[in-house]
Structure 1
Amino acid sequence: MKSVYSSGSRSTSVDSVMTPMIDVVFLLLIFFLTTASFQKLEKQLPAASASQPEAAPNGAAPQPTESEVADFNDIVIKLSTANNVVRYTLQSNAVAGFEELVQRLQTILRIRQDVPVIIDPDNSVPAGEAIRVYDMVRQNGSVSVFLVAR
């Protein structure tokens, strides 16, 4: 049986056989580079929140420790209304009022500023209140703030 790449006069060289294959590879490479998207993907909202901490003995909300904040993938602030009163929830824990929300968020952001903050208002929450919380988060030094829109 005679090989195609024998030293005979009718054989073709390896270079001439590989040239079309290399051309095809380069064309595919150019195609995938021009059609690829190099943008960062959006984060899925709302993401999983950290586990709920135990309640403090005096009834006040417990302050998060550094290890708890380090485990946060993101901070979720939910806004809802009941009887025309805005209620705040931070990481699935009810917060007494806006001032307490500010204090707890300041504590978290002092430990870790790069954690994303997600503000999730219900449809019944006034837009002004959602903007107020957004501005407060930005003023306290958060690097990335997201507002959930429906």
Structure 2
Amino acid sequence: MSGYWKDAEATGETLREGWLRTGDVGVLDADGYLTLLDRSKDVIITGGSNVYPREVEEVLQAHPGVAEVSVIGEPDPEWGERVVAFVVSESWASVDGEELDRHCLAHLARFKRPKAYHFLVSLPKNDYGKVLKNTLRRVEPGRAAHPDQA
């Protein structure tokens, strides 16, 4: 890649000293295998600890009443950020935040569990099907509708 089309600032942030910085966070195991954990810009720092949204999403997705989920960090005056989950329930399920909280506490460290659950009709996605976390960050607390619906 030689750069972003007509975007010198984005090119400068991404290409540094001959390296393409993707923003992916990963770990190498003893055998040299790379496991991608998440994107660095999506890592939630709460109380000085890192929470990878993907880990929380995988736990919530394992709940039978959850069709889709996306997790973001929301500013918190005491902890820096707090973990927030946006959930689309299965059409037949009547899942609530308390039930999902119990599920998370059984599978995650307490500090990684979401502090809030927002239930949406659907997750906002781009044309490629990728969840638009920036759109989720603009959802008003307590609003239980698609962020693009008035």
TM-score range, shorter chain: under 0.3
Q: More helix by proportion, 1 or 2?
A: 1
Q: More strand by proportion, 1 or 2?
A: 2
Structure number with the bigger relative contact order (C-alpha 8 A, sep ≥ 6) is 1
Q: Structure 1 length normalisation: TM-score?
A: 0.27
